[in-house]
Amino acid sequence: MEANKLFEALIRWNYWSDKPLPELRDRIIMQTIHNYIDDKLPIILSGVRRSGKSSIFLLIISELLSRGVDPKQILFLNFEEPQFSTLLSPTFIDDLVTLYKQRINPNKKIYFFLDEIQNVPEWQRWVRREADLKDHKVFATGSSAKLLSSEISTLLTGRYIQFNVHPLSLREILNWNSISYTNDLERTENKSLIINKLFEYLQWGGFPEIILSENEERKKRILSQYFSDILYRDIVYRHQIRDVKLLEGIAHYCITNISSLHSFNRISNIFHTPIDNVRRYFSFLEEAFLITSATKFSFKLSEQKRSPKKVFTVDNGLRNQYGFRFSSDAGKLAENTVAMQLLRSIPDLFYLSNGGECDFIIRRNKQFIPIQVTMDNLETDQTRNREIKGLINAMNYLNVQTGLLITNDIEKTESIDKLRINYIPLWKFLLQHSVYI
């Protein structure tokens, strides 16, 4: 492609003239990223497609501009730009940078913003070179967990800082709607508004574009498109999948049956396909951040590996597009929401199935914390006993004195045989989860 055409593409994505940045809404993760903007190491943002990584780029650019950085020192390269699609190669970034230096910024420090970097072959070598030279600052995003883990760890060990970007949390949704929740008075005064947004969150999830849309039909169309893009652009195209119907079937099955135990053997039998296909497609769905899983907790690694996995999806909105039975599934949606909240600060989730199931086992500050999630009415002894059985079993198994029971709207502390159970409403846990774990 001739240089002028490439330069036109660069102009579309950059803010070198008087073109204003779009209206930006803050993200909580920026509070942490802010501390590393001046660090010489590259910053990598990874996460599911459409979770807001590019918007976080714009928030960083806005901060740089507010500090007095010349707009011409900022180079934004979107590697899903259609005009780039046939040109992606190991030398393509250098080709673009040369063009940019010739026409915009010949000798000043450059702030590189490389969007969907995994589309460029051998991109990590280019980033490593820049990290070693330390002349410029590199920010990059990617929508593939494998490309942004195994390849980075191999070639960029100790030379990058990585952040995982999730769809919006309940806290962020409240922030975007100017609903205050930072102290007991605000939480009490705004409780009805908070719970209203919680139920919308359980139904529609937290993708930014969904939150900003008020039309339900439009939300459904957007979520369907997101699901299609994740499957086709992040899995089918990248891995050259031939049996697309099988991939779609396994993906639908996993996100419809969230918060449930699944074995590869069972999925293999359902779809009449070899178990190796199931393992491979399951790993692709995880790489694209569409699903994640909790492993059975055991002090024996062999038992962990051979036990069924509990599957969750990155966003309830995606799940509800394909299996929406909101009232009957409130418990599973709540459990999925808790899983996604925990994964914002904890790398691995476990469940316990040992004489009674406990939804989550996490490890924080060298201590195990068992967590149970229920949206059922706990007024009757039968329901209450059923829900706390697995939690008490986990506390005894782990030899810990305290467990957490996340509920619809109960908040209290209960002692049973020297064990303490802390009841906390789901909405309050999502706003203050670090307080309880």
How does pLDDT run across 332-348, given as a tens digit for each residue? 999 999 999 999 989 89
What proportions of the chain, in percent to the nearest 5, are helix, strand and coil? 50, 15, 35
The CA distance from 173 to 401, in Å, is 34
- At residue 124, the pLDDT reads 87
The contacts of residue 200 (CB under 8 Å, 6+ apart) are: 173
Per-residue tokens: 318: 């995606």
- At residue 152, the pLDDT reads 65
The pLDDT-based confidence of 10 (bands split at 50, 70, 90) is: very high
Q: Look at domain 3-164 and name its CATH class.
A: alpha beta
The CA distance from 45 to 147, in Å, is 12
What average pLDDT does this structure show over 105-122?
94
- At residue 303, the pLDDT reads 84
pLDDT surpasses 70 at 324: no
Domain 215-324 CATH (choose: 1.10.275.10, 3.40.50.300, 1.10.10.10, 3.30.390.10): 1.10.10.10
Q: What percent of the chain has pLDDT over 70?
A: 95
What average pLDDT does this structure show over 393-413?
94
pLDDT surpasses 90 at 218: yes
Contact 380, 390 (CB under 8 A): no
H/E run at residue 293: strand 291-296
Per-residue tokens: 217: 């039909």
Number of residues in the chain: 437
Architecture of the domain whose range is 326-437: 3-Layer(aba) Sandwich (3.40)
The pLDDT-based confidence of 150 (bands split at 50, 70, 90) is: low
The CA distance from 254 to 322, in Å, is 11
Write out the residue limits of the CATH 1.10.10.10 domain(s) in the chain.
Answer: 215-324
pLDDT digits (tens, 9 = 90+) for 233-280: 999 998 999 999 999 999 999 999 999 999 999 999 999 999 999 999
Contact 11, 83 (CB under 8 A): no
* Helices and strands in the chain: count of H runs, count of E runs: 20, 14
The contacts of residue 386 (CB under 8 Å, 6+ apart) are: none
As to burial, measured by CB atoms within 10 angstroms (0-12 exposed, 13-18 middle, 19+ buried), residue 298 is: middle
Write out the residue limits of the CATH 3.40.1350 domain(s) in the chain.
Answer: 326-437
The CA distance from 99 to 60, in Å, is 24
pLDDT digits (tens, 9 = 90+) for 351-397: 998 877 899 999 988 889 999 999 988 877 777 888 899 999 999 99
